[in-house]
Amino acid sequence: MKKQLSWKVGGQQGEGIDSAGEILSTALNRKGYYLYGYRHFSSRIKGGHSNTKIRISTKPVRSISDELDILVAFDQETIDLNAHELVKDGIILADAKFNPTIPEGISARLIAVPFTKIAEEVGMAQMKNMVAVGASIALLGIPVEAFKEVIEERFARKGQKVVDKNMDAIARGAAFVQTEMATLPDFKLEPSDGKQRLYMIGNDAIAFGALAAGARLMAAYPITPSSEIMEWLIKRLPEFGGTVVQTEDEIAAITMVIGANYGGVRALTASAGPGLSLMTEAIGLAGMTETPAVIVNTQRGGPSTGLPTKQEQSDVLAMLYSTHGEIPKIVIAPSTAEECFYDTIEAFNLAEEYQCPVIILSDLALSLGKQTVEPLDYDRIQIRRGKLVPLDEELPELANSELFPRYEFTEDGISRRVLPGTKYGLHHVTGVEHDQTGRPSESPINRKKMMDKRLSKLKNGINFPNPVHLDAKHEEADLLIIGFCSTRGTIAEAMERLEAEGLKVNHAHIRQILPFPTEIVAEQMKKAKKVLVVENNATGQLTSLIKMNVGMADKLVHFGKYDGNPFLPSEIYNQCKELLVHGHI
């Protein structure tokens, strides 16, 4: 029996690989297993090698694994590209149709299952993916009946016949492998706790969080890996009176969001690097006009078009500095799908409380990686709108037909925000430097006061919970590992192995990038002999940011990976060992 194992399905894009993974994981999630799924795909509709790797466990998992136990292959390429990941007694379930062979030096066992032939017998060749699911669950010791509900839900609208055929395909796939079971190593899963949890990608959680936060308008331009956010919201928003506008470009998206927020609606946009580059001027407008705006950046491989479907974390400094001039801006970086949900809600609160743009920084592995999430808590949804004057509030008449002081100088730098449509609330809004009523002003005295006012809003820190996630029990640590976004689970796993060897390792995962939580990071760095900053980029952007804010440059070591793939636990483990043994990497 296994406490955890990894399963991967691969083939040509468009062969039903995604739905095989989807169906298997949905059924396992409902049985109470913890899952983490990661898709490897290309920037094309059909063709090209694609695979989905799913880690299945009786305990929480937040990372892909180094090893692979079961590989399901629809073509020889899948075997050639992935067999090296297999454990010694791993299994390859491959379609007999292409006469699969095992590459030299791989000790895994190959079972040729007639996926296509069985599917054709059932009545539809494309059901070969369901035959593969069946073959897989025979190994995992999961009964065919566990799929009944999922298959019914998925295919009900196509009729009972299609449902039956799919179930038949799964059953026959399972039966085929069953006959070989006696000679195979044990891959049966230990029973799970049976608890009901959610299984979602980071983008699902961001979209759900936005809806729960009261966002009712999204304006966006499709781009990998952020489109799921708009696709989810366009399905759900109509029930809540809202909508998604697919704009002509990202500049229209962000400016529409600024217009909607100016009008009093919580609105967001989401994009990736290329889109964020286009939005930078308008983000400055939001800062200058003190208009709330929530912008999601699901980082992917850059620069330019870069690696559109691959993991990278190379937009950190761009998110901080890309806008010309100086504005108050908040950048937060959730590190799990669960945090994506709660942090998105917070992003809307922060945007309205501090009246400035808020960037939610995600990355491809977090946005598209699918993970188990403990049931979300309705009572944790809090809506705080700061100094917003609601549309139904009556304002006193203004003396001498003066304008409303929308940009009034206040102690905390934040002024009352009145919405268009409000009587006695007239004021001007402009990206030009302006006075307290919003009228353009070039006065040097006013200019300095206005700059100070805007920048002072974030000066004393912001009201964001848990700016650094800490797993740091050692007062004197051999090593502190720092990361952000999707690497949290991978770092945690590497750390577990190091700790098991008696090394003292702390982990700080930075969730608030701007304003930078200098004190917390400094305190942790002081406790450690060495600091390894793990980030998916080449130039060490987070490392630079830490140097700039905290200092202690002599302790800092940057560990970058920028080949398009997420870190594996072993890679981080090895680097840490190297650093601890040799003092450098």
Among 81, 112, 124, 251, binds other proteins (CB under 8 A): 251
Under rule CB under 8 A, residue 156 binds other proteins: no
Residue written as token pair 């073509």: 75
Provide the minimum distance between the beta carbon of 477 and other proteins in the complex, in angstroms, as a whole number. 37
Backbone phi, then psi, for 438, in 5-degree steps?
95, 0
Q: Which stretch binds other proteins (CB under 8 A): 9-17, 114-122, 126-134, 438-446?
A: 438-446
Q: Please, which residue, 189 or 212, has the CB nearer to other proteins?
A: 212
Which residues inside 350-379 make contact with other proteins, applying CB under 8 A? 373, 375-376, 378
Tell me which residue of 496, 452, 270 sits closest to 367, measured CA to CA.
Answer: 270
Among 111, 118, 131, 257, binds other proteins (CB under 8 A): 257
Among 226, 227, 255, 309, binds other proteins (CB under 8 A): 255
Provide the minimum distance between the beta carbon of 346 and other proteins in the complex, in angstroms, as a whole number. 15
Provide the minimum distance between the beta carbon of 122 and other proteins in the complex, in angstroms, as a whole number. 28
Tell whether the torsion through CA atoms of 465, 565, 229 and 266 is positive or negative.
Answer: positive
- H or E element at residue 79: helix 76-82
Rounded Cα distance, 407 and 325, in Å: 19
Q: Which residues of 312-321 are buried (b: 16+ CB within 10 A; e: fewer)?
A: bbbbbebbbe
Which residues inside 259-298 make contact with other proteins, applying CB under 8 A? 259-267, 281-282, 284-285, 289
Rounded Cα distance, 7 and 71, in Å: 6
Q: Which distant-in-sequence residues (6+ apart) come within 8 Å of 445 by Cβ?
A: none
Rounded Cα distance, 234 and 292, in Å: 22
* Number of residues binding to other proteins, judged by CB under 8 A: 76
Rounded Cα distance, 261 and 286, in Å: 10
Q: Which stretch binds other proteins (CB under 8 A): 40-48, 237-245, 325-333, 550-558?
A: 237-245
Provide the minimum distance between the beta carbon of 352 and other proteins in the complex, in angstroms, as a whole number. 11
Provide the minimum distance between the beta carbon of 324 and other proteins in the complex, in angstroms, as a whole number. 11
Which residues inside 377-416 make contact with other proteins, applying CB under 8 A? 378, 381, 383, 391-392, 401, 403
Q: Is 543 in contact with 510 (CB distance < 8 Å)? A: no
Draw the binding track, 452-481, toward other proteins (x: CB under 8 A; -: no contact).
------------------------------
Among 432, 470, 548, 553, binds other proteins (CB under 8 A): 432
- H or E element at residue 359: strand 357-363
Tell me which residue of 263, 252, 254, 211 sits closest to 233, measured CA to CA.
Answer: 211
Backbone phi, then psi, for 529, in 5-degree steps?
-75, -40
CA dihedral 403, 404, 406, 409 (to 10 degrees): 90
Q: Please, which residue, 10 or 425, has the CB nearer to other proteins?
A: 425
Provide the minimum distance between the beta carbon of 383 and other proteins in the complex, in angstroms, as a whole number. 7
Among 55, 97, 197, 417, binds other proteins (CB under 8 A): 197
Q: Please, which residue, 139 or 217, has the CB nearer to other proteins?
A: 217
Q: Please, which residue, 84 or 423, has the CB nearer to other proteins?
A: 423
> Which tokens go with 483?
């990361």
Among 99, 182, 194, 239, binds other proteins (CB under 8 A): 239
Provide the minimum distance between the beta carbon of 98 and other proteins in the complex, in angstroms, as a whole number. 35
Rounded Cα distance, 498 and 221, in Å: 44
Through-space distance between the first and last CA atoms of the chain, rounded to whole angstroms: 38
Provide the minimum distance between the beta carbon of 358 and other proteins in the complex, in angstroms, as a whole number. 17
Q: Is 110 in contact with 100 (CB distance < 8 Å)? A: yes
Among 118, 210, 211, 345, binds other proteins (CB under 8 A): 211
Provide the minimum distance between the beta carbon of 212 and other proteins in the complex, in angstroms, as a whole number. 6
CA dihedral 18, 21, 27, 31 (to 10 degrees): -140
Which residues inside 19-48 make contact with other proteins, applying CB under 8 A? 29-30
Among 160, 178, 305, 430, binds other proteins (CB under 8 A): 430
